[in-house]
Amino acid sequence: MSAGGRGGVRATLSGLTTRGRSFLAAGIAAAICAYVLGQDDLLRVGLLLAALPLLCAGVLHRTRHRVTAERGLAPARVPATGEARVRLRVDNVSRLPTGLLMLQDRVPYVLGPRPRFVLDRVEPGGHREVSYRVRSDLRGRYRLGPLQVRLSDPFGMCELTRSFSAYDTLTVLPRVEPLPAVRFGGEALGHGDGRQRSLALAGEDDVIPRGYRHGDDLRRVHWRSTAKHGELMVRREEQPRRSRCTVLLDTRAVAYEGAGPGSAFEWAVSGAASVVAHLLERGFSVRLLTDFGVTVSGEGGSGHERAAAATLMMDTLAVIDHSDGADLAGAYDVLRDGHDGLLVAFLGDLDGGQAASVARMRRRGGAVAFVLDPDAWTREPTAVPEPNAPLPQRLKVLREGGWTALGVPRGASLEELWRQADRERPGPAALSGGARG
């Protein structure tokens, strides 16, 4: 017999229950006594007692490889605190009915208790379906499975476990809070009457005309080029310029304290996700930037482009974690590439030098900073704030650099802070409320 065969027999015999082991021991003892005493009837009883658990184990060993299972997960991506349903189906593809079945699916502890189901015997060719729900308050990517099926014979002599290798992945996205439409720093929205337009080149003298085509508006005829080339020339059509925004997320571990769904870092991740979703919906070209310089970009154009960009960025935010960085130098280097547009930053604790560095990141299209003070998030709600807290000084440095800077108290609503930032932004172009986009 091969080693695999010996291992299979050993594994099958190890599945004998207390009842099965008792029957086997009683049968062996009866057979020995019958041999010593010369009692043939006792020998028959002993053989029957010993053969019954072995026969049950042999049948169950063959049956467990005739049981198949599959899992269905819907939906595979849910927001935090959302629920997903997992469906399990077990099929008996053998010609014999199964005994009692117990299903156990492996799930991470953050999704809830490990689900267990007990199924009655399944007829040949039959199947059974069960389902359970999973829910998580904490974003992340979680593995469901593999599924284990424990089979038992009708006499309770043996129990064997069948493990399946397939598994599914549940992605829990950060919470997204709806935000009102505002126009920070006069920045035009991605679509609508307020969008910016540009010619092929900036100046009237530098415009590149093209030949007249049937149906072109005669009001776009470029007479100077027409006289020069001796044929009718028209100006190129104006090209829409999509508004752009960079969402900066500070992930430094030293900048936050605490953990869990109600921590400051999770609020910052949820805030970044809310701003990304809001601006993509408004037609912006959005770039997600972290403190160590990693970027994820997406366009908020057509519905397909917007959905693809939102999926990519939300999946990135679902698994983003703390970094080991000590400063924001990586983000500062990226922002030096001349990428104009709105800048929205979610920042943790800042010292004086870091605040000055962030102040120099201000963009021409406006800059808004939400600063989460670790002391405010770890301090008891009834505790009195320290008189020399550094947060007001950090906010002052940012505001002097042209930022609209707000401190984020514990449990604050991003929607209210978003409106407050719109009211407090500097400059005469403070046009509040419903944007025409």
Q: What is the pLDDT of residues 40-52, one digit of tens each?
A: 889 999 999 999 9
pLDDT at residue number 156: 85
Predicted model pTM = 0.76
Q: What value does the mean pLDDT take over residues 188-203?
A: 40
Please determine, for residue 184, whether its predicted confidence score (pLDDT) is greater than 80. Answer: no
373 in Cβ contact with 351 (< 8 Å) = no
Please determine, for residue 13, whether its predicted confidence score (pLDDT) is greater than 60. Answer: yes
Cα 129 from Cα 305, distance rounded (Å): 38
Cα 61 from Cα 20, distance rounded (Å): 15
Burial class (CB in 10 A: 0-12, 13-18, 19+), 261: middle
Cα 339 from Cα 51, distance rounded (Å): 80
Q: Which among 424, 252, 389 has a CA at the least distance from the CA of 321?
A: 252
Spatial neighbors of 188 by CB under 8 A, at least 6 apart, are 194, 195, 196, 243, 437
Instruction: Give how far Cα 217 sits from Cα of 205, 339, 340, Å.
Output: 20, 35, 33
Give the model's confidence band at 429: pLDDT under 50 very low, under 70 low, under 90 confident, else very high: very low
Select the more confidently predicted residue: 10 or 409: 409
Lowest mean pLDDT of 82-91, 109-118, 121-130, 241-250, name the range.
241-250
The alpha-helical segments, DSSP class H, found in 38-139 are 40-64
Order of strands across the sheet that contains 100-105: 116-119, 100-105, 147-152, 159-163
Q: Residue 80, Cα to own-chain centre: how many angstroms?
A: 9
CB atoms within 10 A of CB 189: 22
With a pLDDT cut of 70, the percent of the chain lying above it is 82
Cα 38 from Cα 266, distance rounded (Å): 79
